[in-house]
């Protein structure tokens, strides 16, 4: 059996280690390891539709990479990718790490900032009433009545945490020194730029009348004609049931109600709804509102049962 010459083995191992050390030394001298800092655009992935993402989101991050001189010489920011991944269906305040990918052989040493705080919320919407706010005052001797807004409600769309706190939208109308009705298309607002209102503007009418005495009186519908055969008038009423009249106090004192213009039901075989004006009594300067809706309920009359031929009542 041959004996191992350990002296030769050790010499070979030492020669190999020396050659490796020499290769590393020469490589470092010729192509040393260095670092480079690049400004990389920050991208994001995750939910897009029906979600809103807010927070201090930087447009870019600083990335320190390590590699050899030859690797770093032509390296640009376009060769790196920085991303924050926003989880699906997760809402609230989140701290998300910045994930950086670099070409093979390079080492990412530092990312600044290395995480980003964002707020993720679901988009929602609801209908909210429009409240009209009056700015200024009518001219002396005039007064403003309750404003009328069309439409009376708008749709508010935005982050759910914001929408849940909204109870109404506001429209502001300037009536300074007005001597007649003011009609304006005015924008509506909820005081939050994250909320979109649909429509964004409403039509507001503010009646301006002489500063006379006023009185609220009931409305009496006037119904004329007869329904179709087999039908009968069940009842009629006005919406609103009362209106406000304006005039001299002595004139208003003698008025207990106000009638509508006639609503004809001749030959009608079903309930109906009609918008109609009011018969303004002499001496009344103004009526608000000037028109009402008259609801007329007409129902079919049940015919009495007929006796069978040959039948006879018994006492």
Q: What is the CATH number for 78?
A: 2.170.120.30
Asked if 71 and 27 count as a contact pair (C-beta separation under 8 A), the reply is no
Examine residue 86 and state whether it is found in any structural domain, yes or no.
Answer: yes
With a cut of 70, say whether residue 163 has pLDDT above it: yes
Examine residue 9 and state whether it is found in any structural domain, yes or no.
Answer: no
Structure tokens at 5: 């010459």
In a shared domain, residues 102 and 134 = no
Mean of per-residue pLDDT scores for the chain: 87
Residue-number span of the structural domain to which 197 is assigned = 124-210
In a shared domain, residues 94 and 147 = no
Asked if 154 and 199 count as a contact pair (C-beta separation under 8 A), the reply is yes
Given this model, what pLDDT does residue 25 score? 59
Structure tokens at 86: 């926003």
Examine residue 266 and state whether it is found in any structural domain, yes or no.
Answer: yes
Examine residue 90 and state whether it is found in any structural domain, yes or no.
Answer: yes
Rounded distance, CA 140 to CA 280, Å?
Answer: 26
With a cut of 80, say whether residue 27 has pLDDT above it: no
- Token look-up 């005495």 returns 213
Contacting residues for 105 by C-beta, under 8 A, at least 6 apart:
67, 68, 71
**Stretch 305-312: mean pLDDT:** 57
Examine residue 101 and state whether it is found in any structural domain, yes or no.
Answer: yes
Examine residue 309 and state whether it is found in any structural domain, yes or no.
Answer: no
Q: What is the β-pairing status of strands 242-247 and 208-210?
A: unpaired
Weakest-pLDDT range from 8-22, 58-72, 174-188: 8-22
CA distances from 151 to 188, 190, 203, 261 (A): 11, 16, 7, 27
Examine residue 311 and state whether it is found in any structural domain, yes or no.
Answer: no
267 class by beta-carbon count within 10 Å (0-12 exposed, 13-18 middle, 19+ buried): exposed
Q: Based on the structure, what is the number of domains in the chain?
A: 3
Contacting residues for 182 by C-beta, under 8 A, at least 6 apart:
144, 173, 174, 175, 204, 205, 206, 208
Other C-beta atoms closer than 10 Å to the C-beta of 47 total 16
With a cut of 60, say whether residue 168 has pLDDT above it: yes
In a shared domain, residues 138 and 100 = no
In a shared domain, residues 193 and 243 = no
Given this model, what pLDDT does residue 315 score? 38
In a shared domain, residues 295 and 219 = yes
Rounded distance, CA 304 to CA 94, Å?
Answer: 76
In a shared domain, residues 206 and 218 = no
Contacting residues for 10 by C-beta, under 8 A, at least 6 apart:
none
In a shared domain, residues 260 and 287 = yes
In a shared domain, residues 93 and 156 = no
> What CATH number is associated with residue 172?
2.170.120.40
What's the gap between Cα 29 and its chain centre? 65
Residues 9, 15, 19, 22, CA torsion sign: positive
Given this model, what pLDDT does residue 31 score? 55
Q: What is the β-pairing status of strands 272-279 and 231-239?
A: unpaired
In a shared domain, residues 152 and 96 = no
Of the three residues 177, 210, 243, the one that is the final residue of a domain is 210
Asked if 142 and 176 count as a contact pair (C-beta separation under 8 A), the reply is no
Given this model, what pLDDT does residue 140 score? 82
Given this model, what pLDDT does residue 26 score? 53
Asked if 292 and 259 count as a contact pair (C-beta separation under 8 A), the reply is no
In a shared domain, residues 281 and 225 = yes
Examine residue 306 and state whether it is found in any structural domain, yes or no.
Answer: no
Of the three residues 67, 87, 113, the one that is the final residue of a domain is 113
Question: Which of 197, 183, 181, 279 has the alpha carbon at shortest distance from 238?
Answer: 279
Asked if 124 and 160 count as a contact pair (C-beta separation under 8 A), the reply is yes
What does pTM read for this prediction? 0.52
Of the three residues 143, 176, 210, the one that is the final residue of a domain is 210
**Stretch 33-58: mean pLDDT:** 84
In a shared domain, residues 150 and 227 = no
């Amino acid at each position: 059996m041959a004996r191992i010459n350990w002296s030769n083995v050790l010499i070979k191992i030492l020669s190999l280690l020396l050659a490796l050390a020499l290769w590393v030394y020469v490589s470092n001298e010729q192509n040393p390891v260095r670092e480079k800092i690049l400004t990389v655009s920050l991208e994001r992935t995750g939910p897009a539709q029906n979600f809103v993402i807010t927070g201090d989101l930087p447009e870019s991050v600083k990335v320190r990479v390590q590699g050899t001189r030859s690797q770093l010489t032509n390296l640009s920011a376009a060769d790196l990718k920085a991303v924050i991944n926003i989880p699906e269906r997760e809402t609230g305040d989140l701290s998300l790490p910045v994930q950086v990918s670099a070409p093979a052989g390079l080492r990412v040493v530092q990312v600044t900032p290395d995480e980003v705080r964002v707020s993720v919320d679901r988009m929602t919407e609801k209908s909210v009433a429009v409240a009209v706010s009056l700015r200024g005052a009518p001219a002396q001797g005039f007064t403003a009545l309750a404003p009328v807004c069309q439409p009376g409600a708008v749709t508010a769309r935005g982050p759910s945490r914001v929408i849940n706190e909204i109870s109404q939208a506001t429209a502001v109308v300037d009536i300074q020194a007005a001597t007649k009705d003011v009609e304006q298309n005015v924008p509506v607002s909820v005081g939050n730029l994250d909320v979109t209102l649909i429509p964004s503007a409403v039509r507001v009418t503010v009646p301006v009348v002489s500063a006379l005495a006023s009185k609220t009186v009931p409305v009496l519908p006037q119904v004329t004609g007869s329904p179709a055969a087999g039908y009968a008038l069940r009842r009629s009423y006005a919406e609103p049931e009362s209106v406000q009249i304006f005039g001299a106090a002595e004139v208003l004192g003698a008025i207990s109600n106000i009638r509508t213009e006639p609503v004809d039901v001749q030959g009608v075989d079903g309930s109906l709804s009609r918008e109609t004006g009011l018969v303004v009594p002499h001496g009344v300067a103004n009526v608000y509102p000037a028109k009402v809706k008259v609801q007329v309920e007409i129902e079919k009359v049940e015919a009495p049962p007929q006796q069978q031929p040959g039948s006879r009542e018994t006492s």
